[in-house]
Amino acid sequence: MPITKTKLKIQLSKLGEFKQPKLNLEQYPTPGNIAATILWNAFMLGDIEDKIILDAGCGTGRFGIGALLLGAKFVYFVDIDKKALTILKENLKQHKFKNYQIINKDIKSIKKTDFKKKLQTIIQNPPFGTKKEHADKLFLEKAFKLCDRIYSMHKLTTKAFLNAIVKDSKFKVTHYWDFFFELKQTQAFHKRKIYRIDVACWRLKKTRF
């Protein structure tokens, strides 16, 4: 076993986060304990170790780095924001990984040809679509075209809508985990230090019929 769940949580919590999060990109980092739980579940289901992983909308890279710590064969980090990728590079320096590639692109323009290796698992915490309507849907629809196995985080209030999209795209929900997501006070209009929302992670798998 590459690393324990407890050590994974500790390592993820040490990673640098956004210094000035961009509101339009909904840059809220996944809390270390939640990221560790999702990654550990994926690891136990055989979707991480020795697999080719995409961290879509990677931000500062918490999911992708966690996947590398759990023995991923290769990780692609994709994000539109160069400043986020600068922090990602600093986070990667905490380790000696060589089996990764960073791609600075909008998820809308990503194609299978951007990846020299065939993707086996996508893990993503896309924008929730609060500031840019259907931003979460865009990430999902792109993931459906790129890979047969997806872990994707969304607000719990979108559950019915998300399940309908999944079914229409010939995928199925195999697992589902819900969490309290704590968003720190990062914007001037935030009136509280911590905002708590209900989120969930869906494990999606392409159907064979």
- Residue 80 makes CB contacts below 8 A (sequence gap 6+) with 25, 57, 104, 105, 106, 107
Strand 52-56 relative to strand 74-79, pairing: parallel
Residue 130 one-letter amino acid:
T
Query: Which stretch of DSSP H or E encloses residue 197?
Result: strand 194-206
Mean pLDDT, the chain, whole residue set = 87
Is residue 183 pLDDT above 90, yes or no? no
Q: Pick the closest to residue 52 from 69, 35, 67, 41 (CA basis).
A: 67
Q: Pick the closest to residue 85 from 117, 52, 57 (CA basis).
A: 57
Is residue 200 pLDDT above 60, yes or no? yes
Asked if 16 and 32 touch (Cβ cutoff 8 Å), the reply is: no
**DSSP 3-state assignment of 86?**
helix
Is residue 25 pLDDT above 60, yes or no? no
Domain boundaries, the chain: 5-206
Is residue 23 pLDDT above 60, yes or no? no
Is residue 188 pLDDT above 80, yes or no? no
Q: Which CATH class is domain 5-206?
A: alpha beta
What is the per-residue pLDDT for 190?
Answer: 45
pLDDT digits (tens, 9 = 90+) for 7-18: 999 999 898 875
Give the rounded percent of residues in the chain with a pLDDT score beyond 70: 85
Span 128-157, mean pLDDT?
Answer: 84
- Residue 160 makes CB contacts below 8 A (sequence gap 6+) with none
pLDDT digits (tens, 9 = 90+) for 82-130: 988 999 999 999 998 999 999 999 999 999 999 999 999 999 998 865 5
What is the per-residue pLDDT for 131?
Answer: 56
What is the per-residue pLDDT for 189?
Answer: 45
Angstrom CA distances, 115 to 14, 28, 66, 107, 170, stand at 29, 26, 20, 13, 23
Provide the pLDDT confidence category of residue 28 given band limits of 50, 70 and 90.
Answer: confident
